[in-house]
Amino acid sequence: MKRTCFALALTLASTGALAADGAFNSAEDAIDYRQAAFGLIKENFSDMWAMMKDKKPMDEKAFAQRAQHLALLAQIPFTGFDVAGSDKGDTSALPAIWQKRDEFDAKASQFQLATERLAQVTQSGDAGDIKKAFGAVGKTCKGCHDNFKAE
Ligand code: HEC
């Protein structure tokens, strides 16, 4: 098992598919990468949402872990927008991202800060603070999608 993983890592590294530095092989890769990251963001966010809205029992430990993961994941998608040509193809990213890049980047920063804040307040455990911080994260999703993502 260990050996397989190592071989896989080597293969990925040699094909340049390890995209940690934001380098992608193609625009399609960049689109897949950012969509996959947003998919994980949604998984975490939806589960927290279900707990906040009493759709499932609140598990404080699980909630806090999701909040930590969300703050990490919030760092991931944005290098996927740096690649030329990734405004075309199988994507719901709007041209406004590249036309108003400063505004988009500002929204990304607000999102990252909001998720960090949420991860922090889940440590203190104050229900009111958590609720507020969670609501603030939700607003940053919508605030960006309204301007920069097609329906
Ligand atoms: C700064 C802008 C921005 C923020 C903040 C943001 N998104 Fe997005 N999101 C996008 C863009 C742009 C796309 C389209 C990506 C593409 O199709 O290339 C996207 C796509 C998605 C997708 C679809 C992924 C797929 O499989 O195609 C989901 C789900 C999603 N976002 C959820 C969220 C959630 C939940 C949050 C907040 C917790 C969030 N996003 C925050 C800009 C943002």
Confidence band of 66 (pLDDT split at 50, 70, 90): very high
Q: What is the pLDDT of residue 119?
A: 98
Q: Which residue, by CA, sits nearest to atom 39 of ligand 1?
A: 141
* Alpha-carbon Rg for the chain in angstroms: 17
Q: Which residue, by CA, sits nearest to atom 41 of ligand 1?
A: 141
Confidence band of 23 (pLDDT split at 50, 70, 90): confident
Q: What is the pLDDT of residue 10?
A: 53
For residue 149, list its beta bridge partners. 93
Confidence band of 4 (pLDDT split at 50, 70, 90): low
* Closest C-alpha among 111, 128, 134, 142 to residue 51: 134
Q: Which residue, by CA, sits nearest to atom 7 of ligand 1?
A: 141
* Closest C-alpha among 132, 133, 24, 43 to residue 83: 24
List C-alpha distances in Å: 151 to 29, 30, 80, 83, 94.
22, 20, 19, 22, 10
Confidence band of 21 (pLDDT split at 50, 70, 90): very low
What confidence tens digit (pLDDT) does each residue in 105-115 have?
A: 999 999 999 99
Confidence band of 31 (pLDDT split at 50, 70, 90): very high
Q: Which of 17-21, 45-49, 101-105 is predicted with the least confidence, judged by mean pLDDT?
A: 17-21
Q: Does the structure show a pLDDT above 70 at 50?
A: yes
Q: Which residue, by CA, sits nearest to atom 22 of ligand 1?
A: 38
Please report, as a single letter, which amino acid is at residue 13: A
Q: Which of 90, 134, 145, 151 to mutate to test the pocket of ligand 1 (most atoms within 8 A of CB)?
A: 145
Domains and CATH numbers, the chain: 25-148 (1.20.120.10)
Q: Which of 38, 41, 48 to mutate to test the pocket of ligand 1 (most atoms within 8 A of CB)?
A: 38
- Tell me how far the alpha carbon of residue 142 lies from the centroid of ligand 1, in angstroms: 9
Interval 68-82 mean pLDDT: 97
Interval 27-32 mean pLDDT: 96
